[in-house]
Amino acid sequence: MKLKELLKGCNTNLVLENFNNFTVKDISSDSRLIKSNYIFAAISGTKDNGEKYIKDFSKFKNIAVIISKKSKFNLKKRHNDITLIKTHNVRKLLSEITSIFYKSFIPEKIAITGTNGKTSVCDYTRQIWEKENLEVASIGTLGLIFKKKKVETPNLTTPDPTLFNKYLNFLSKRKCKKVIIEASSIGLDQERLYPHQFNKVAFTNLTQDHLDYHKNFLNYKRSKSLLFQSHVSKNSVSVINSDDKFSKYFFKICKSRNLKVLDFGKKADFFKFLSLKKRDKGFELKYFLKKKVGVVFIECFSEYEIYNKICALILVYGKQLNFKNLNSINLLHNPAGRLEKLKNKHNLNIFIDYAHTPDALKNLLKGLKRNCKGRLLSIIGCGGERDKTKRPLMTKEALTYSDCVIITDDNPRNENPSKIRKEMTKNLREIDKKNIKEIADRKKAIQYSIKLLNKNDFLVITGKGHENYQIYKDRKSFFSDKDTVLKFIGKL
What pLDDT, in 10s, does the model give residues 9-19? 999 999 999 99
The neighbour count for residue 222, using CB atoms within 10 Å, is: 16
Largest CA distance in the chain: 76
* 69-79 mean pLDDT: 83
Domain 340-491 indexed as CATH 3.90.190.20: yes
Q: What is the pLDDT of residue 185?
A: 96
95 contact partners, CB below 8 Å, separation of at least 6: 161, 165, 191, 192, 193, 194, 195
Residue 28 has pLDDT above 80, yes or no: yes
Amino acid at 281: K
Which percentage of the chain shows pLDDT scores above 70? 100
Residue 362 near residue 400 (C-beta atoms within 8 A): yes
Confidence of residue 351 (pLDDT cuts 50, 70, 90): very high
Residue 46 has pLDDT above 90, yes or no: no
As a whole number, the mean pLDDT across the chain is 95
Residue 35 has pLDDT above 80, yes or no: yes
Which percentage of the chain shows pLDDT scores above 90? 92
CA 369 – CA 377 distance, rounded (Å): 10
* Main-chain dihedrals φ then ψ at residue 297, nearest 5 degrees: -95, 130
What angle (nearest 5°) sits at the alpha carbon of residue 244, between those of residues 119 and 230?
Answer: 65
* 90-109 mean pLDDT: 98
* 415-436 mean pLDDT: 95
Residue 74 has pLDDT above 90, yes or no: no
CA 308 – CA 116 distance, rounded (Å): 10
Q: What is the pLDDT of residue 73?
A: 87
* 429-451 mean pLDDT: 96
Q: What is the pLDDT of residue 47?
A: 79
What angle (nearest 5°) sits at the alpha carbon of residue 110, between those of residues 105 and 114?
Answer: 145
Confidence of residue 198 (pLDDT cuts 50, 70, 90): very high
* 228-250 mean pLDDT: 97
Residue 129 has pLDDT above 90, yes or no: yes
CA 294 – CA 273 distance, rounded (Å): 10
Q: What is the pLDDT of residues 145-160, one digit of tens each?
A: 999 999 998 888 999 9
Q: What is the pLDDT of residue 208?
A: 78
Q: What is the pLDDT of residues 253-305, one digit of tens each?
A: 999 999 999 999 999 999 999 999 999 999 999 999 999 999 999 999 999 99
Domain 3-100 indexed as CATH 3.40.50.1970: no
- How much is the CA Rg of the chain, to the nearest whole Å? 24
Residue 69 has pLDDT above 90, yes or no: yes
* 108-131 mean pLDDT: 97
Q: What is the pLDDT of residue 372?
A: 96
Spans of all domains in the chain: 3-100, 104-331, 340-491
Q: What is the pLDDT of residue 492?
A: 81
Q: What is the pLDDT of residue 484?
A: 98
Q: What is the pLDDT of residue 243?
A: 98
CA 288 – CA 270 distance, rounded (Å): 8
* 462-481 mean pLDDT: 95
Q: What is the pLDDT of residues 359-416, one digit of tens each?
A: 999 999 999 999 999 999 999 999 999 999 999 999 999 999 999 999 999 999 999 9
pTM, rounded to two decimals:
0.94
* 88-95 mean pLDDT: 97
Q: What is the pLDDT of residue 153?
A: 85
CATH class of the domain at 104-331: alpha beta
256 contact partners, CB below 8 Å, separation of at least 6: none
Confidence of residue 214 (pLDDT cuts 50, 70, 90): confident
Confidence of residue 213 (pLDDT cuts 50, 70, 90): confident
Q: What is the pLDDT of residue 301?
A: 94
